[in-house]
Amino acid sequence: MSDNGPSSFAARLRARERLLGYWVVCDNPVGTERIAGLGYDYVCADGQHGLMAYPGWLSAMTAIDARGVSAGMVRVPANDGYWIGSALDAGARGVIVPLVNDAEEAAAAVAYCRYPPHGVRSYGPMRSALRVGPRPAEADEAVACVVMIETAGALDNLAEICAVPGLDGVYVGPSDLTLALGGRFPGDPDVADAFADATARIAKTAADAGIAAGFHCPDGATAAARLAEGYTFATVSSDLVHLEQAAAAHLKAARSS
Distance, CA of 34 to CA of 30 (rounded, Å): 6
Q: What is the greatest pairwise CA distance in the chain?
A: 67
**Residue among 49, 118, 216, 242 flagged as catalytic:** 49
Q: Please, are residues 203 and 231 in contact by the beta-carbon 8 Å criterion?
A: yes
Q: Is the pLDDT of residue 207 over 50?
A: yes
> Average pLDDT for residues 79-88, to the nearest whole number?
98
User: Cα(first)–Cα(last) distance of the chain, in Å?
Assistant: 51
pLDDT at residue 176 greater than cutoff 90: yes
* Catalytic site includes residue 216: no
- Rounded to two decimals, the pTM is 0.97
Per-residue pLDDT, 223? 98
- Summarised one tens digit per residue, pLDDT across range 178-196 is 999 999 999 999 999 999 9
Of 113, 106, 111, which Cα lies nearest the Cα of 132? 113
Q: Could you report the per-residue pLDDT of 213-252, keeping only the tens digit for each?
A: 999 999 999 999 999 999 999 999 999 999 999 999 999 9
* Residue closest to 218 by CA, chosen among 236, 199, 242: 236
Q: How far apart are CA 201 and CA 159, in angstroms?
A: 10
